[in-house]
């Protein structure tokens, strides 16, 4: 019983009712103006359903009409905050497009929707008028007064018994309205739903969002992971050295690395918050000396060789190359400690090569440095390969003649 009465307590039932009645206005206006009906009969009602159709067909050609119908359908046909039901607007509402017509197929679907809304609205308006008239006649029959409203179902006689039937027409009307509203909501999903081009655009936007989130996750992993690794190595080296001068240098390196990591973190948070403030500039390979000095300050011996002009590398490649080099150095410090590191950066007209090598620690497995880097595992090495693949390049990581090697090749065009 409660399920049957539930539509009576939902605001969406009445917004759907209003949506249907609004759809009948154009038919009523046309009927009253031309041919000038006063009290239309069955045939005249049928004519009123046909007169506005050419006007609706012409209106459907206008692209913005589809947007207007979509906005009305979203607001009035689907449960939202106004409906006092759980779930809010939900995913079904999102199935109605609010974009203008982009093709003749969209215009055709809009035309069908307008005609359907016209006919369904006229039907509901007719039923509403008849059932409300019947309810008034039952009230008159109960009180013994003259019947002032006329319906298709005459009320014979007078008597108090008709008072028991007064609630029946309104309840039937609400049931009809609830059913018609559900059918119109279902039709809206089919006729006002997104086209194939809109669905493809939405899928591409969703893919871009996922790629952006993955990129931000890699940025945080590389920047914060590098800073923490350097801080840990520096602190351990300073404690072991017990040298005030070395400790001062270690603290300076920790401070500089931490400040750079905070800048990266602030930039990423600005992107996530979609702030209107410009995000901080991402570092490029022209600032690779900062990474090398940070590794040297940790106690590692870094031998770097740069061939070619780094400032000629395109921005996206240079930024990703910086992060790849940062992750490679971080992996060395994390898994092998302060061992000698050889870094080679080569730039020519077509490609950028990054090569980072370091000795494998004693007792390391032949296929990796440790549990975090086995057989190409670990999020850091995976991130290096993903960055290279997104730029159309390739990355190879693994043991090479007793050394651990990260070799990355990126195209410049």
**Helix, coil or strand: residue 155:** coil
The pLDDT score that the predictor gives to residue 150 is 65
Instruction: Name the pLDDT band for 387 (thresholds 50, 70, 90).
Output: confident
DSSP 351-380: EEEEEEEEEPPTT--TT-SSGGGGGG-SHH
- Counting Cα atoms < 13 Å in the Cβ hemisphere of 286 gives 11
C-alpha 22/C-alpha 17 separation (Å) is 9
Output the CA torsion 204→208→211→213 (10° steps).
-130
Instruction: Name the pLDDT band for 26 (thresholds 50, 70, 90).
Output: confident
Name the β-bridge partners of 208. none
- Of residues 237 and 308, the one with the higher pLDDT is 308
Question: What are the tens digits of pLDDT across the range 282-334?
Answer: 788 988 888 888 888 777 889 999 999 898 888 888 888 988 998 888 888 87
- Of residues 17 and 140, the one with the higher pLDDT is 17
C-alpha 49/C-alpha 193 separation (Å) is 25
The pLDDT score that the predictor gives to residue 119 is 92
Q: Which residues contact 351 (CB under 8 A, 6 or more apart)?
A: 393, 409, 410, 411, 412
Question: What are the tens digits of pLDDT across the range 188-204?
Answer: 988 988 877 677 666 66
C-alpha 39/C-alpha 44 separation (Å) is 9
**Averaged pLDDT, 338-366:** 84
**Averaged pLDDT, 337-352:** 90
The pLDDT score that the predictor gives to residue 335 is 79
What are the φ and ψ backbone dihedral angles of 253, each rounded to 5 degrees?
A: -65, -40
C-alpha 82/C-alpha 89 separation (Å) is 9
C-alpha 235/C-alpha 248 separation (Å) is 11
C-alpha 396/C-alpha 46 separation (Å) is 75
Two tokens, residue 30: 């046309």
């Amino acid at each position: 019983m409660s399920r049957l009465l539930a539509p009576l307590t939902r605001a969406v039932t009445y917004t759907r009712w209003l949506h249907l009645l609004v759809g009948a206005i154009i038919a009523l206006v046309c009927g009253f103006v031309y041919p000038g009906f006063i009290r239309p009969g069955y045939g005249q009602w049928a004519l009123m359903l046909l007169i506005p159709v050419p006007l609706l067909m012409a209106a459907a050609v206008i692209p913005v009409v589809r947007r207007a119908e979509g906005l009305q359908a979203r607001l009035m046909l689907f449960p939202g905050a106004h409906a006092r039901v759980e779930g809010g607007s939900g995913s079904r509402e999102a199935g109605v497009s609010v974009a203008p017509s982009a093709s003749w197929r969209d215009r055709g679907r809009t035309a069908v929707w307008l005609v359907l809304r016209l006919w369904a609205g006229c039907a509901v308006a007719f039923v509403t008028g008849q059932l409300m008239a019947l309810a008034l006649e039952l009230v008159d029959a109960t009180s013994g007064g003259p019947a002032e409203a006329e319906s298709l179902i005459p009320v014979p006689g007078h008597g108090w018994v008709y008072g028991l039937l007064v609630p029946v027409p309104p309840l039937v009307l609400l049931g009809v309205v609830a059913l018609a509203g559900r059918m119109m909501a279902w039709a809206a999903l089919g006729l006002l739903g997104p086209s194939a081009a809109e669905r493809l655009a939405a899928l591409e936007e969703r893919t871009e969002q996922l790629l952006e989130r993955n990129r931000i996750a890699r940025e945080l992993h590389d920047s914060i992971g590098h800073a923490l690794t350097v801080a840990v190595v520096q602190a351990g080296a300073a404690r072991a050295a017990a040298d005030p001068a070395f400790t001062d240098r270690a603290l300076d390196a920790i401070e500089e690395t931490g400040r750079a990591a905070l800048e990266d973190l602030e930039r990423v948070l600005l992107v996530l918050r979609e702030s209107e403030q410009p995000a901080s500039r991402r570092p490029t390979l022209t600032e690779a000396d900062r990474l090398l000095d940070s590794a040297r300050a940790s106690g590692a011996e870094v031998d770097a060789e740069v061939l070619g002009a780094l400032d000629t590398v395109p921005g996206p490649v240079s930024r990703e190359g910086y992060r790849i080099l940062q992750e490679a150095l971080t992996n060395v410090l994390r898994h092998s400690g302060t061992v000698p590191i050889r870094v080679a950066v080569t730039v020519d007209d077509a490609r950028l090569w990054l090569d980072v090598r370091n000795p494998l620690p004693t007792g390391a497995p032949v296929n990796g440095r440790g549990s975090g880097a086995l057989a190409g595992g670990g999020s850091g090495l995976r991130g290096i390969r993903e960055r290279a693949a997104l730029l159309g390049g390739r990355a190879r990581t693994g043991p090479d003649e007793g050394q651990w090697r990260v070799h990355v090749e990126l195209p410049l065009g």
